[in-house]
Amino acid sequence: MSGEYIIKADNIRKYFGGVKALDGVNLDIRKGEIHCLAGENGCGKSTIINIISGFYTPDTGTIEIDGKTYDRMTPQLAIANGIQVIYQDLSLFPNLTVRENLALNMEVAAGRKIVSKKRMQQIAEAAVAKLGLDIDLDETVENLTFGTRQMIAISRALLNDAKLIIMDEPTTAITKREVKTLFKLIKQLQSQGIAILFVSHKLDEVFEIAERFTIFRNGKNVATGSTKELDQDKFTYYMTGREIVTHRFEYTQKDAPTVLEVRNLSLANGFKDISFALKKGEIVGITGLLGSGRTELAETLFGYHTADSGEIFIEGKKAEIHSIKDGIRNGIGYLPSDRVTEGLFLSQPISDNISIERWNDYANALGAIDRNKIDEMSHHWVKELSIAAHDINNNVGTLSGGNQQKCVLAKWLALDLKILILNGPTVGVDIGAKFDIYELVKKLAQQGLTVIIISDDLPEVLTNCNRVMVMQSGRLAATLSTQGLEENRLAELAN
Ligand SMILES: Nc1ncnc2c1ncn2[C@@H]1O[C@H](COP(=O)(O)OP(=O)(O)OP(=O)(O)O)[C@@H](O)[C@H]1O
Ligand SMILES: [Mg+2]
């Protein structure tokens, strides 16, 4: 029987200090299959990947590869067995060329002291040829889109005779079009006999690409089987352990005052002649392709950029917004799309990250900060957003990706804002957390917060916003009420 499997991880336990990340899980992957690993943020997906690939040592359990049983892997052993991981950061050198990124590892691994240009060219050509990619080998990696970089990382993995390629949430940072390309590529790899372990929270992706699935919850197995036997309700229930019922946001404060008004706002290379007005308590979506100017618009409202022309009014008064400080002073908060680099100090405690924008309020005349207040407030938000933190004094970097995202959100919610702009607030966030975040946003809107949600996820926009603005090439192409609006119609406008 074992001949059927490329890898069988059995009864794996892993603790980090007092934190139980994996509590005796199994993960079996058959040769040449596309297998999806799913589960809420913090359930242990990245941990099992690190164990299979030899970066972490399990506390108990065994790993069987090709009929041989090991107590632990090492990175070398995993690679020798054809196991390759594509991490979320892709582990490429941005300032080197495509050729160098593809070939240098091989040269180093071969223990060569002198790097031959000719050999590098051969390795790089062989790498892209395996996938039939059309990429300029002389291009510097930092000039490429994330999707293209991902292709390069996969090509590099193939150089080592991969039998199993593990992708940790590969679709989080790429556009819909790039997801399509990636899925074609995954199918192509499968046709070459390579198995894929694919980590995703997204049900549509799991259905589209995977034959089998495994779902973890709190470091334990919940279900494994064929995706044919899975449907939306089961998937959600396996993931969260609860029934989730979403309902459309209804805006009831029709005669509320205008909070934000934008008149003829323009920014060179960003957007042109944008005008709109938002009322207190509205949740308004902005959608449109990458390059539509939607992020630049949000960043300008918050003060990252100063508009070239046009005016912004907050509660009827003209606002001068030329810096982030101005944005915050005007009661505007902004959750950026790139949560890790822009939103958090990873090596600082959870409590400090959540409270940092409020420190001035909690300092006495001498500048000493009231720690009790900070802890109290951090506890409040950790609870409100169900952030899976064992201790608010742990560094944010120890939290799973989705929980880090919730911390950025908590930081803004802790300020008394008038307007909150969320750019892709649930990218990389699991179903349960997504639900929690939107329930909270709707609750805050009902209490009078005006919210702008920038998102590609049209069902998400339709469910949670009362209006939606569509941007195209820097222009506001349409503003629509979401009431009775069909997804197809919105998709036509947004593409
Ligand atoms: N190096 C570490 N030190 C301490 N705790 C850790 C470490 N790595 C993971 N954990 C904890 O182990 C648990 C599992 O984390 P893991 O990163 O495997 O989750 P995940 O399923 O990949 O989540 P996500 O979907 O958010 O990426 C979490 O509670 C996390 O906080
Ligand atoms: Mg993870």
Give the Å distance between the CA of 200 and the centre of ligand 2.
Answer: 9
> Do 229 and 264 fall within a single domain?
no
Ligand closest to 401 (CA) is: 1
> Do 177 and 324 fall within a single domain?
no
> Do 221 and 117 fall within a single domain?
yes
> Do 173 and 262 fall within a single domain?
no
Q: How far apart are CA 44 and CA 219, in angstroms?
A: 5
For residue 119, give its domain range.
2-240
Alpha helices, H only, 97-198: 98-109, 117-131, 146-158, 176-191
Q: How far apart are CA 252 and CA 272, in angstroms?
A: 31
Q: With a 6 A CB cut-off, is 43 part of the ligand 1 pocket?
A: yes
Ligand 1 atom 6 nearest Cα: 398
Ligand closest to 400 (CA) is: 1
Q: How far apart are CA 306 and CA 270, in angstroms?
A: 11
Tokens standing for residue 473: 């090439």
Q: How far apart are CA 197 and CA 30, in angstroms?
A: 10
Identify whether 247 is part of a domain.
no
Ligand 1 atom 7 nearest Cα: 398
Give the Å distance between the CA of 217 and the centre of ligand 1.
Answer: 12
Q: Which of 63, 34, 68 is nearest to 48 (CA)?
A: 63
> Do 326 and 229 fall within a single domain?
no
Q: With a 6 A CB cut-off, is 400 part of the ligand 1 pocket?
A: yes
Ligand 1 atom 12 nearest Cα: 21
Tokens standing for residue 226: 């064929």
Ligand closest to 168 (CA) is: 2
> Do 179 and 293 fall within a single domain?
no
Identify whether 253 is part of a domain.
no
Given the CA of residue 201, which atom of ligand 1 is nearest to it?
25
Identify whether 252 is part of a domain.
no
Q: With a 6 A CB cut-off, is 44 part of the ligand 1 pocket?
A: yes
Q: With a 6 A CB cut-off, is 200 part of the ligand 1 pocket?
A: no
Q: How far apart are CA 78 and CA 83, in angstroms?
A: 5
Tokens standing for residue 179: 């997801």
Q: Which of 164, 163, 201, 169 is nearest to 182 (CA)?
A: 169
Q: Which of 402, 399, 414 is nearest to 355 (CA)?
A: 414
> Do 303 and 357 fall within a single domain?
yes
Provide the number of structural domains found in the chain: 2
> Do 272 and 223 fall within a single domain?
no
Give the Å distance between the CA of 219 and the centre of ligand 1.
Answer: 10
**Of 240, 273, 290, which closes a domain?**
240
Q: How far apart are CA 217 and CA 197, in angstroms?
A: 18
**Of 206, 240, 274, which closes a domain?**
240
Q: With a 6 A CB cut-off, is 199 part of the ligand 1 pocket?
A: no
> Do 264 and 204 fall within a single domain?
no
Residue 417 near residue 333 (C-beta atoms within 8 A)? yes
Element (H, E) at 197: strand 195-199
Enter the DSSP assignment of 267: E
Gyration radius of the chain over CA positions: 24
SS3 (DSSP) at 341: helix
Q: With a 6 A CB cut-off, is 428 part of the ligand 1 pocket?
A: no
Q: With a 6 A CB cut-off, is 215 part of the ligand 1 pocket?
A: no
Number of H helices and E strands in the chain, helices first, is: 16, 20
> Do 263 and 233 fall within a single domain?
no
Give every CB contact of residue 184 below 8 A, 6+ residues apart in sequence. Answer: none
Name the pairing type of β-strands 19-30 and 5-16: antiparallel
Q: With a 6 A CB cut-off, is 405 part of the ligand 1 pocket?
A: no
Tokens 């240009």, residue located: 117
Identify whether 467 is part of a domain.
yes
**Of 191, 212, 240, which closes a domain?**
240
Can you give the CATH number for the domain in which 320 is found?
Answer: 3.40.50.300
Cα-based torsion angle of the residue sequence 321, 284, 175, 136 in order, rounded to the nearest 10 degrees: -30
> Do 92 and 127 fall within a single domain?
yes
Identify whether 442 is part of a domain.
yes
Ligand closest to 87 (CA) is: 2
pLDDT by residue, tens only, the chain of 495 residues: 446 899 999 999 999 988 899 999 999 999 999 999 999 888 999 999 999 999 999 999 999 998 899 999 999 999 999 999 998 888 898 899 999 999 887 776 677 777 778 888 888 888 888 888 888 999 999 999 888 899 999 999 988 889 999 999 888 877 778 888 899 999 999 999 999 999 987 888 888 999 999 999 999 999 999 999 888 888 888 988 887 788 889 998 879 999 999 999 999 999 999 999 999 999 999 998 778 999 999 999 999 999 999 999 999 999 999 999 999 999 999 988 765 556 788 889 999 999 988 888 888 877 788 889 899 999 999 998 888 888 999 999 888 777 888 888 898 888 889 999 999 888 777 788 888 889 889 999 999 999 999 998 898 999 999 999 999 999 999 999 999 999 999 988 887
Given the CA of residue 17, which atom of ligand 1 is nearest to it?
4
Ligand 1 pocket test, candidate residues 15, 47, 404, most atoms within 8 A of CB: 47
Q: With a 6 A CB cut-off, is 46 part of the ligand 1 pocket?
A: yes
Identify whether 245 is part of a domain.
no
> Do 375 and 234 fall within a single domain?
no
Ligand 1 atom 1 nearest Cα: 398
